């Protein structure tokens, strides 16, 4: 799902809030719900722009690595199944 605000934009909104702007005014000005504001506030509170960019890069890398692990796990399971089918007839034939 495409987000309405980038991380950097939301950090800018948080900076405005920290400068003393009322939360309800920020909701109206930027067209967001209070739940959205507080969710992003919990995630980005106290961050600078470069830290948010670093967080985004790390999240992307984490997502990529999780996908890689899932793919490798499937490959491993397939190879184990093939190996079991190849070795099982030889073991049973020897009895």
pLDDT at 66: 98
Q: Report the pLDDT value the prediction gives residue 36, as an integer from 0 to 100.
A: 85
Q: Are 38 and 13 in contact (CB under 8 A)?
A: no
Give the whole-angstrom CA distance, residue 19 versus residue 12.
11
Task: Find the helix packing angle between 34-44 and 23-30, rounded to 10°.
Answer: 110
Looking at residue 11, its pLDDT comes to 85
Specify the pLDDT at position 93: 59
**Spatial separation of the C-alpha atoms in residues 14 and 41, rounded to whole Å:** 7
Map residue 11 onto helix, strand or coil.
Answer: helix
Q: Which two tokens stand for residue 52?
A: 């948010």
- Residues 52, 7: contact at Cβ < 8 Å? yes
The domain spans of the chain are 1-47, 61-95
Task: Give the pLDDT confidence score for residue 26 in this predicted structure.
Answer: 86
Q: Splitting the chain (95 residues) into consecutive groups of 10 residues, what average pLDDT does each group show?
A: 76 87 86 86 81 88 98 96 83 58
Cα 21 versus chain centre, distance: 30
């Amino acid at each position: 799902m495409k987000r309405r605000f980038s991380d950097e934009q939301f950090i800018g909104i948080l900076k405005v809030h920290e400068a003393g702007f009322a939360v309800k005014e920020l909701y109206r000005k930027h067209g967001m719900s209070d739940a959205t504001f507080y969710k992003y506030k919990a995630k980005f509170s106290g961050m600078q722009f470069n830290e948010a960019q670093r967080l985004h890069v790390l999240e992307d890398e984490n997502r990529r690595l999780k996908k890689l692990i899932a793919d490798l796990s499937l490959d491993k399971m397939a190879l184990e199944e093939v190996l079991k089918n190849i070795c099982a007839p030889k073991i049973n034939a020897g009895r």
